[in-house]
Structure 1
Amino acid sequence: MDTQFIQIGEACKVLGISKPTLYRLISQGILPAVRTGDKFRLNRADVEKLSETGWRWADAEAQ
Structure 2
Amino acid sequence: MADPELCKLNDASFTLGVSRPTLYKMAKKGEVELVKLGGRTLMRRAEVERLAATAPAWRPDPARSAQANAARRKVSAPARNGG
TM over 0.5: yes
From the two aligned structures, give the one with the greater helix fraction: 2
What SS does the corresponding residue of 1:17 show, helix, strand or coil? coil
Counterpart of 2:47?
A: 46
Gaps of 5+ in 2: 57-83
| 1:38, distance to aligned residue in structure 2 (A) | 3.3
Q: Where in structure 1 do 4 or more consecutive aligned residues deviate above 3 Å?
A: none
Cα-Cα RMSD: 1.6
Counterpart of 2:35?
A: 34
| 1:19, distance to aligned residue in structure 2 (A) | 1.1
| 1:36, distance to aligned residue in structure 2 (A) | 2.0
Q: Tell me which structure has the larger Cα radius of gyration.
A: 2
| 1:35, distance to aligned residue in structure 2 (A) | 1.0
TM-score, structure 2 normalization: 0.57
Number of residue pairs matched?
53
Contact between 1:14 and 1:48, CA under 8 Å: does it hold in 2? no
Higher RCO (C-alpha 8 Å, min separation 6):
1
Gaps of 5+ in 1: 56-63
Contact between 1:9 and 1:19, CA under 8 Å: does it hold in 2? yes
Counterpart of 1:13?
A: 14
- Provide the C-alpha distance between the structure 2 equivalents of 1:42 and 1:54, rounded to a whole number of angstroms: 17
TM-score, structure 1 normalization: 0.72
What SS does the corresponding residue of 2:31 show, helix, strand or coil? coil
